[in-house]
Every structure is written in structure tokens, then in C-alpha cells.
Amino acid sequence: MNSRRAWLVYGVGVFAYLVAVTQRTTIGVAGVAATERFHSSASVLSTLAVVQLIVYAAMQIPVGVLIDRVGSRWLMAVGTALMVAGQVTVALAPTIGVAIIGRIMVGAGDATVFTSLMRLTNSWFRGKIVPQLSQWIGNIGQLGQVLSAIPFAIILHQSGWTTAFLSAASLSVVALVGIIAVIKDKPVGADEGPRPATWGESLRQLRISLARPGTQLGFWSHFVTQSSGTVYSLMWGLPFMVYALGIDPAEASGLLIVSVVAGLISGPILGLLTARYPLRRSNLVLAIVFFMGVVWAFVLLWPGTPPFWLLIVLLIAIGIGGPGSLIGFDFARTFNPLRSLGSANGIVNVGGFLASFIMMFLIGVVLDGENSLRVASGGQSDLYAFDSFRWAFAVQYVIIGIGVGFLIHARRRTRRRLSEDEGIEVAPLWVALSEAWRSRGR
């Protein structure tokens, strides 16, 4: 455990995830180009990203079960090969329908990598370093968004759609070679217990994981923190900045890096806080959600066009949501045995992407609806008007608000289970802070 070989496996796995994030986010950077190439409405264009996320989310639980049954290496290899095929299909797509098929393949391949890597990390490492390594997976992986925002965007603008997507596909070829050559499921002699012998046993293990309040707490933590940033970076951020705020497309693509940098800075801090205060992880999640909600409110309610500095604050806020979502996997890790961790991680990872594709689709519907009302009242068509985005982005408050309600319910059940099974009582945060303050004064 924690050996040189472990670090090599981890490094190759993180590179494979970085490449997967690159493939996932290319369509967000190419949103404007896709509009011009396929001449589609906002709701149809959103289908490119939505179906990818639907496939990704729908596959998480089956992938988690497969990880526990057959291991991570095989799944990562097959998934990376699927992403190659999917991006080549998008590159050569003559119509929006063919491009959607390609993105379905990308979503299916992408679905295997992150959960498999989280399982590998828990097999090859032990101790308090695990939450920090989980944060670094997310942080380094999000650099894939930098690759799509700068090199991919440059190739897209200079050489065109086909060359850009074929170039992205070539990165996955490199990752595939690394996976096959280096990655193993676990160290020699590792005792993780037997894998499920039958599919029936796998499904029984899945049901047990799903019933655990700690797994549910991880699901809702991921649901409320990850979705806003995903919706922005994967689909609607670029049209919002280019058309509603009047920012140059190249500059807008570069601005997406602000979220990545925010995640890189906040991720290690959240990892340390998660390891040091394991009983207060849900408070970290709720604080991140509150911060994002306040910043979004300022942006959407600002009279006229929001200033540039406020856009930067927004990008920082949703960037912190990315590493915040990884706290959900730490709940899965601490409330599930290692032999069923793949299934538990798969359940958690559904959360954020379920919220994302719901919000992504509804935002497109609201934008189309606002534009139709504008045209019907005699106005000029303006699909991406800022006032339309005000209403469209407000959808987030409804979806995430529902998630927060379920998160608080799951936290209550998890704490009750801790009290019953281990005798651990978790006082409300204000009580704990008051006690800490009184202790300092003694």
C-alpha cells in the first residue's frame, strides 16, 4: 500500500481521467460552433450535452456493480476506447443526429473512468491521505477543461470542427495505451474480500449500499454541489458569456479556466478539512451551496449587465462546487466496506449528473420559451438575451433546493445511525462552535 507502484497506477489513472474530462467538456466549448454547424435551436442543441449526461448518469450504478465484480482496469480500457470512437463520430458527423450518437458513446465511455479510478485509489492507498488523493483526482482531472478551453478551442477556431474533435480523440488513444500497460486492480496480496460470485450477489450488495443513509448522504451532497458548474462549463456558460454578456468567444473560453483554478486551490483545502473534521463534512457541503446560491442571486438580479468582476466571482463559486462534490465520495468510503465501494461510488456519482442534465434541459426549454414569447409579442428573435438567461438560470434554485431538502433528511438519518451503532453523537454546528469557544476561554 502507498508504494511507488501505487503512485504510478494513480498517475496513469489520473491522466486517463483528465483526458475523459477533456472529451466531456469539448462540446461546451464548441457550443457556438455547433449552433452554426447544425443550425439548431437551443433545446435541440442542449440535447448534445443532455444525452451524454443521461447516458453517463444512467451507467454509473451498472458501472459500479461491474467494478466490484470484474475490476477497474478492464472497464477503464473499454470506456476509453468508446470515447475514441465517439469523438471520431462527432468529428465526422454531417447532422445533429449523428453527433448525438457520438456524444452518447462519449458519455458511455466517460462513465467508466472516474468511479473506477476512485476504486483503484482505495485499493492502492490507505489512511488519511485517501480524502486528499480523491480531491487531487478531481482537481487534476478538471485540467481537462483547460485543454478543451484553450488548445481545443484554438484548433476549433483555426482548423475547424473535424480537426479539433479528431485531435481530442487522439488524446484518448494515448490514455488507452497507458491503462493497458500500467494499471492493475489491486496490489499483490491485497485482502479486499472475495468479489461477488454471481450477478444476484452483486445486486444484493448494491441494494445494501443504496439502503445505507451514508451512501444517500453522499448522493445528495454530489447532487447539490457539482451540478451548477457542470451545467455552466458543459453547455450554457459559453453562450451566456458570448451572447448575453458580449464577451469575445476566445476570451469566454479562456474564462472557464477561472473555475478550474478555483477548484485547484480549494480542493486541497477541502481535502484537509474533510480528513480533519469528518463529522462536519455535510456542513462544508451546505456552506458551498449557500455561497453559490448567493453569488448566482447577485448575477441574475443585477440591474443591467453584471460587471466583469462579478462574473469572475461566479466562476470561482461554481469552481469550488467541483471539489465540494467529492466530499460525497468520502461519505461512500466511510459508510461502505471496500468490497462494495464501486457500487456505492456509482450511486453517489449519479447525483450531480442527474441534477445537471435536468437543469441543462430545462434551461434550454426556458430559453426557447422566452424567445417564442418575445417573437409572438412583435419583438425581434434573440435566443440568448440576458433577460432570458435570468429566468433560465433561476431553474437551479428549484432543483438544488429540492436536493438540499433530501440532503438534510439523509444527514439526520446518518447521524441517528452513528448514534445507534457506534455511540457517536453529532451536535448541531452552533452547539459545537459554542463549546469550542468556551473551551478556549478556560
Q: What is the pLDDT of residues 298-324, one digit of tens each?
A: 999 999 899 999 999 999 999 999 889
| CA proximity to 233, closest of 149, 138, 317, 147 | 149
What's the pLDDT tens digit per position in 272-285? 888 888 888 999 99
DSSP state of 306: P
Q: Where does residue 182 rank: exposed (0-12), middle (13-18), buried (19+ CB within 10 A)? A: middle
Where are the domains positioned within the chain? 4-184+201-441
> Cα Rg for the chain, rounded, in angstroms?
22
**Predicted structure pTM score:** 0.79
| C-alpha torsion sign, points 181, 183, 189, 192 | negative
Confirm if 287 and 107 have CB atoms less than 8 A apart: no
Residue 22 CA to residue 33 CA, distance in Å, equals 17
SS3 assignment for 96-145: HHHHHHHHHHHHHHHHHHHHHHHHHHHHHCCCCHHHHHHHHHHHHHCHHH
Give the residue carrying C-alpha cell 458513446. Answer: 105
What are the respective helix, strand and coil percentages of the chain, to the nearest 5? Answer: 85, 0, 15
Grid cell locating 88: 471520431
Band (pLDDT 50/70/90 cuts) for residue 197 is low
Contacts of 262 (CB under 8 A, 6+ apart): 315, 316, 317, 319, 320
CATH fold of the domain at 4-184+201-441: Growth Hormone; Chain: A; (1.20.1250)
**What pLDDT is recorded for position 254?**
81
Could you identify the residue written with the cell 479539433?
A: 164
In the chain, pLDDT over 90 holds for what percent of residues? Answer: 38
CB 226 within 8 A of CB 245: no
Tally Cβ neighbours within 10 Å of residue 356.
Answer: 27
Contact call for residues 145 and 233 (beta carbons, < 8 A): yes
**Between 51 and 411, residue with greater pLDDT:** 411
> Residue 5's Cα: distance from chain center in Å?
28
Q: Could you report the per-residue pLDDT of 245-269, keeping only the tens digit for each?
A: 999 887 887 888 898 889 889 988 9
